[in-house]
Structure 1
Amino acid sequence: MDYTRIQAIDARIKDQVPDLSTFDKQETAVKSYEQHCISCHGAPGVAPEPFSLGMMPAPSAIVRVARQRSPAELYWVIENGIKMSGMPAWKYRLSGQEIWQLVALIKQLPKLSKSQYAQLAKQRNTPNQTASHVSETAFVSASERNNETLSGQVALQQYNCNSCHVIQGIASAIYHVGPPLNNMVNRRFIAGTLPTTRENLVKWIMNPPHFKPQSLMPNLQVKRQHAEAMVDYLYEISDK
Structure 2
Amino acid sequence: MPGSVRMKTVLATLLIAALLALAGMAVFIAGGFYDISATEPHTPPVHALLEATMRRSVKVRAADIVTPPLGDAATVERGAACYRDHCLQCHGGPGVPHGDIAKGLQPLPDPLAGAVRQWRPRELYWIVRHGIKMSGMPAWETRLPDADLWAVVAFLDRLPELSPAAFTETLAATRGARCLSASQGCESPGCRPIETADTHPLQHRDAQERAKLLLRQYACPACHMIPGIVGAQTHVGPPLAGLGRRERIAGKLPNDADNLVRWIRSPQSVDPSTAMPDMGVTEAHARQMAAYLESLR
Q: Same fold (TM over 0.5)?
A: yes
Separation in 2 of the partners of 1:98 and 1:159? 20
For 2:157, which of 92, 107, 113 is the aligned residue? 107
Name the structure, 1 or 2, with higher relative contact order (CA <8 Å, separation 6+): 1
Q: In the alignment, is the contact (CA less than 8 A) between 2:76 and 2:152 conserved in 1?
A: no
Provide closer, same or farther for how the CA distance between residues 45 and 210 of structure 1 changes in structure 2, counting only shifts above 3 A. Answer: farther
Q: Taking structure 1 as the reference length, what is the TM-score of the superposition?
A: 0.83
Q: In the alignment, is the contact (CA less than 8 A) between 1:27 and 1:126 conserved in 2?
A: no
Deviation at 1:213, TM superposition (A): 4.0
Q: In the alignment, is the contact (CA less than 8 A) between 1:159 and 1:222 conserved in 2?
A: yes
Separation in 1 of the partners of 2:250 and 2:132? 35
Q: Deviations over 1:147-169 (max 9, x none)?
A: 65443333222222111112223
Separation in 1 of the partners of 2:227 and 2:202? 26
For 2:123, which of 45, 66, 73 is the aligned residue? 73
For 1:198, which of 232, 257, 267 is the aligned residue? 257
**Aligned to 1:221, what secondary structure does the other structure show?**
coil
Match of 1:132 in 2: none
Match of 2:138 in 1: 88
Provide closer, same or farther for how the CA distance between residues 235 and 142 of structure 1 changes in structure 2, counting only shifts above 3 A. Answer: closer
Q: Deviations over 1:193-237 (max 9, x none)?
A: 333211110122123234334432222222333322322222232
Query: Does residue 227 of structure 1 match 2:286?
Result: yes
Query: Does residue 41 of structure 1 match 2:91?
Result: yes
**Aligned to 1:92, what secondary structure does the other structure show?**
coil
Deviation at 1:10, TM superposition (A): 1.4
Match of 2:56 in 1: 7
Match of 1:166 in 2: 225
**Aligned to 1:110, what secondary structure does the other structure show?**
helix
Deviation at 1:143, TM superposition (A): 4.8
Once the two structures are superposed, the pairs formed by residues 46-61 of structure 1 within 5 Å of their partners are 46-61=96-111
For 1:176, which of 226, 232, 235 is the aligned residue? 235
What is the one-letter code of the residue matched to 1:118? T
Unaligned runs of 5+ in 1: 128-137
Once the two structures are superposed, the pairs formed by residues 14-29 of structure 1 within 5 Å of their partners are 14-22=64-72, 24-25=74-75, 27-29=77-79
Answer with 1 or 2: which has the greater Rg: 2
Match of 1:211 in 2: 270
Q: Deviations over 1:35-94 (max 9, x none)?
A: 211111111111111121221221111112233211111101111111232112111111
Q: Deviations over 1:15-35 (max 9, x none)?
A: 211111136256432222122
Match of 1:135 in 2: none
Separation in 1 of the partners of 2:127 and 2:230? 25
What is the one-letter code of the residue matched to 1:235? E
Task: Name the stretch that deviates more: 68-77 or 160-169.
Answer: 160-169
Separation in 1 of the partners of 2:232 and 2:213? 12
Separation in 1 of the partners of 2:76 and 2:200? 21
Residues matched between the structures, number: 227
Unaligned runs of 5+ in 2: 1-48, 178-196
* RMSD value, Cα: 2.4
**Aligned to 1:86, what secondary structure does the other structure show?**
coil
Provide closer, same or farther for how the CA distance between residues 122 and 82 of structure 1 changes in structure 2, counting only shifts above 3 A. Answer: same
Provide closer, same or farther for how the CA distance between residues 139 and 102 of structure 1 changes in structure 2, counting only shifts above 3 A. Answer: farther
> Identity across aligned pairs (percent)?
36
Provide closer, same or farther for how the CA distance between residues 76 and 139 of structure 1 changes in structure 2, counting only shifts above 3 A. Answer: farther
Q: Taking structure 2 as the reference length, what is the TM-score of the superposition?
A: 0.69
For 1:116, which of 133, 155, 166 is the aligned residue? 166
**Aligned to 1:21, what secondary structure does the other structure show?**
coil
Q: In the alignment, is the contact (CA less than 8 A) between 2:132 and 2:139 conserved in 1?
A: yes
**Aligned to 1:17, what secondary structure does the other structure show?**
coil
**Aligned to 2:153, what secondary structure does the other structure show?**
helix
